[in-house]
Structure 1
Amino acid sequence: MLRMCFLSLASLASTLAVQTIGPGAALEARQSQTVPAPTTTPAPTGVITTTKYITIDGQTDSHVTIPGQTIAIAIPTCVQTITPDANGYVPPGTCGAIWNYYPSFRAAVAFAALFAVLVTVHIWQAVAYKKRWCWVIIMAAIWEMMAMTFRSLSSKSQQSDGIFLVFQIFILLAPLWVNAFAYMTLGRMIYYFHPSRAILGIPAVAIAAVFVFLDIASFVIQLVGGGMANPSASPEKQQLGIHIYMGGIACQQLMIVIFVGLCIVFQRQMQRADVRRLFSSGWGQLLCALYWALAMITVRIIYRLVEFSGGVGDYGALKTEEVYFYVLEALPMFLALASFNAIHPGRVMTDSESDMPGLFTMTRTRIMLRRGKHLRLKEAGDCDGQSGWEMR
């Protein structure tokens, strides 16, 4: 009897509990006990590594049997989980990020306009002074202008690797045109002002030709490195391209140091013959413009060496703050180009003596003179016995 009472009370308590909780609550209680809560796995960002398997079929002939093999290749894959804004910007380090900061469209357009002014003035001065060889400095200004133009376009299309690569090639290689013009200018200054037309026994024509040739070699090295450092390339290839480019600008700076040494030798030898102060003579003013332009290029080279020294994954201040680019790259190159507007070689070297012949022309002329001297000596000995020679 007592047992039956306990069973009746237990049954009544169960019925009351079910009515109190309700069917929905009871269902939730059962689900909480049997089904775990759903979890969300965040999507990967940046570059991840996926594995691709390639199967190579085996080969069998009468001599040997090569079994089939399966090769696993690790492939870096970029997964984009952030929607770019209207200009294509995504934060640095994420998939599709080209810039390490948000580039200013207005600043790029402003400097493109400034370089366009220099292009116009350089063209006008080259025509006014009739200096055809000044096309080199015109090319330097055009390349700087094109670099800033493509930078402004890239600021509005920040997902375009092609536009960024064009900007990068122009901005990295434009200073080499200024270098070449400086080498050509000093060669013509030696040819025009120096009594012997030579420095340290080296003819002016040879000085200009050798340095321009080395400048072209540096141009090729930097072009290869700049092209390999394309943001769409793998990190390993970008790093190799950066190393090649840094080697190119290091060679460029070494040539500048040697060239400045020749400039100093020229200055001292000219000051012995010309008692006027450096700034009061035409050659001295042009030489100061050369010093200034090369100093600005040196500032820019040091900036690039420090910027690239950290490698691909470095996010230092020089790479993440745009102001350094304009203060240490764009502004120095603008001042270097403007120095040759302020003191143009055509204003200092006015007559045709500044049109120095090329190395090939000079070599051919010397060969012809030697042949002519030999023939005249032979004719003089055969005919009248006179010594000496006559140049026709």
Structure 2
Amino acid sequence: MATLESTSTFASPTTFTVRAEPTCTTAVPDHFGHVPPDACNANYGFYPSWEYNLTVAIGFALTSAAHLIEAVIFKKSFCWVIIMGSLWECICFVLRTLGAHDQQNSEYVTFSTLLFLLAPLWINAFAYMVLARLTYYILPERRLLRIRAEYLSKIFVIADVLSFLIQAAGGAMLANQDDPAAALNGTHIYMVGIGVQLFFVLIFTFFAVSFVRRLSFLERIRGLQRNAKWVWPLVWTLLAVMVLIVIRIVFRLIEFSQGASSSNPFLQHEAFQFCLDAFPMLVALGLLNIVHPGIVLRGPDSSFPRGSWKWWKNRKDGKSRSLFIPLDSGSLLEVSPHRGGVDVGL
């Protein structure tokens, strides 16, 4: 493959000329636009696979269509979040498929990289929203660790948005092929964003474990009355999704800790991105297709109220007070007037 060396000449006050060593070479692309990873005009650290990217794009397209259909069937408007995540993944791999046969097109690289880095945050946010709605729907007290379900959802979604903004800023700088310094800063910013995401995922896991313990206790003392057959499968599905998200986060942290240069082994093999990012997210989306939250969240109280003013009005009128009756075991029996249910507090 023919190459043209890129050199720079600097004028000197004396009579001799200093010639700088070339930092890279500009290579002649092959018929698909591929050049060696260390070439100045390289957009990829590997030879992208058209077939594999197309296969993954089809997989994400199918799960996107399934989530759209399920959102309509179960009438769950909040499912637009998971649909966005799956569509971003699908579009990402469509662009990667096109880029595999047009590797000198930097737009394909830039936009597919941004979508690839940010799409899992939609899936993460959806898991937060589902657990909060399960708390509101199933637990009589409608709270976890003293935090009301509505606020639980808002807190974690806001945290996810914060992580999204940081990662988006870093990803945009990272996708800049013409400025290595900006790309390095982008790597650091992106790692901060994904670190923030991991921090809140771990906190969320603590709440999820609390929910599991509470659910087990309620099932033991009185049984589950609302779509009991699918409650536990959905809970385990959410936990599996979070494990898959953590796998992806750890991979990205390790990958970017090696730098964004062509010498990074994780950037030299496309298989890492397929196996440790795309595949876990595809499995997570598929699991949420099989055990869709709409199977459990049905009927009254399956969604948050549209506004919070009614809650404050009821509080003022004294209608939302809970009655605590001491039991012989030392526990508290909570009668919640707004649910009409009986709950043993832990």
Q: So what's the TM-score if we normalise by structure 1?
A: 0.73
Give the C-alpha shift of residue 77 in structure 1.
Answer: 9.3
- Offset from partner CA, 1:247-280 (integer Å, 9 cap, x none): 1011101111100110100110111110379xx7
Which of these residues, 132, 146, 171, is aligned with residue 91 of structure 2?
146
Greater shift, 211-220 or 316-325, is seen at: 316-325
Q: In the alignment, is the contact (CA less than 8 A) between 1:80 and 1:94 conserved in 2?
A: yes
Which of these residues, 244, 252, 270, is aligned with residue 304 of structure 1?
252
Q: In the alignment, is the contact (CA less than 8 A) between 2:25 and 2:38 conserved in 1?
A: no
Which of these residues, 204, 228, 237, is aligned with residue 259 of structure 1?
204
The one-letter amino acid of 1:325's match is Q
Residue 44 of structure 1 is matched in structure 2 by 5
- What CA distance in whole angstroms lies between the structure 1 residues aligned with 2:21 and 2:200? 40
1:112 aligns with 2:60: no
Identical amino acids, percent of aligned pairs: 34
Give the C-alpha shift of residue 231 in structure 1.
Answer: 4.1
- What CA distance in whole angstroms lies between the structure 2 residues aligned with 1:366 and 1:77? 69
Which of these residues, 185, 188, 199, is aligned with residue 243 of structure 1?
188
Q: In the alignment, is the contact (CA less than 8 A) between 2:297 and 2:303 conserved in 1?
A: no
The one-letter amino acid of 1:185's match is V
Residue 279 of structure 2 is matched in structure 1 by 331
Residue 103 of structure 2 is matched in structure 1 by 158
- What CA distance in whole angstroms lies between the structure 1 residues aligned with 2:240 and 2:112? 26
Q: Secondary structure at the match of 1:213?
A: helix
Q: 1:273 to 1:225 in 2, by over 3 A?
A: same
1:292 aligns with 2:240: yes
Residue 291 of structure 2 is matched in structure 1 by 343
1:357 aligns with 2:305: yes
- Offset from partner CA, 1:261-300 (integer Å, 9 cap, x none): 10100110111110379xx742211111111111111111
Q: 1:52 to 1:170 in 2, by over 3 A?
A: farther
- Offset from partner CA, 1:326-374 (integer Å, 9 cap, x none): 111111000011111111111112113111135xx22x2234345667x
Instruction: Calculate the aligned-residue CA RMSD, in Å.
Output: 2.6
Which of these residues, 28, 31, 34, is aligned with residue 86 of structure 1?
31
Q: 1:156 to 1:52 in 2, by over 3 A?
A: farther
Residue 232 of structure 1 is matched in structure 2 by 177
The one-letter amino acid of 2:71's match is A
Query: Which structure is richer in relative contact order (CA contacts within 8 A, separation 6 or more)?
Result: 2
Q: Which has the higher helix share?
A: 1
Mind listing any 5+ residue stretches in structure 2 that lack a counterpart? 13-19, 319-346
Q: 1:167 to 1:217 in 2, by over 3 A?
A: same
Q: In the alignment, is the contact (CA less than 8 A) between 2:57 and 2:93 conserved in 1?
A: yes
- Offset from partner CA, 1:149-204 (integer Å, 9 cap, x none): 01111111211211111000110000000011001100100000001000111000
Q: In the alignment, is the contact (CA less than 8 A) between 1:228 and 1:241 conserved in 2?
A: yes
- What CA distance in whole angstroms lies between the structure 2 residues aligned with 1:117 and 1:213? 29
Q: In the alignment, is the contact (CA less than 8 A) between 1:161 and 1:231 conserved in 2?
A: no
- Offset from partner CA, 1:16-55 (integer Å, 9 cap, x none): xxxxxxxxxxxxxxxxxxxxxxxxxx9524xx556599xx
Residue 185 of structure 1 is matched in structure 2 by 130
Give the C-alpha shift of residue 314 in structure 1.
Answer: 5.3
1:136 aligns with 2:81: yes
- Count of residues in Structure 1 that have an aligned counterpart in Structure 2: 306
Give the C-alpha shift of residue 233 in structure 1.
Answer: 3.1
Which of these residues, 263, 267, 286, is aligned with residue 315 of structure 1?
263
- What CA distance in whole angstroms lies between the structure 2 residues aligned with 1:78 and 1:161? 21
Residue 172 of structure 1 is matched in structure 2 by 117
Which of these residues, 155, 161, 166, is aligned with residue 210 of structure 1?
155
Q: So what's the TM-score if we normalise by structure 2?
A: 0.82
Give the C-alpha shift of residue 229 in structure 1.
Answer: 0.7
Residue 200 of structure 1 is matched in structure 2 by 145
Residue 26 of structure 1 is matched in structure 2 by none
- What CA distance in whole angstroms lies between the structure 2 residues aligned with 1:165 and 1:89? 16
Greater shift, 267-276 or 109-118, is seen at: 267-276
Q: In the alignment, is the contact (CA less than 8 A) between 1:300 and 1:328 conserved in 2?
A: yes
Mind listing any 5+ residue stretches in structure 1 that lack a counterpart? 1-41, 54-74, 374-392
- What CA distance in whole angstroms lies between the structure 1 residues aligned with 2:80 and 2:26? 49
Give the C-alpha shift of residue 311 in structure 1.
Answer: 1.1
The one-letter amino acid of 1:44's match is E
The one-letter amino acid of 1:121's match is A
The one-letter amino acid of 1:302's match is V
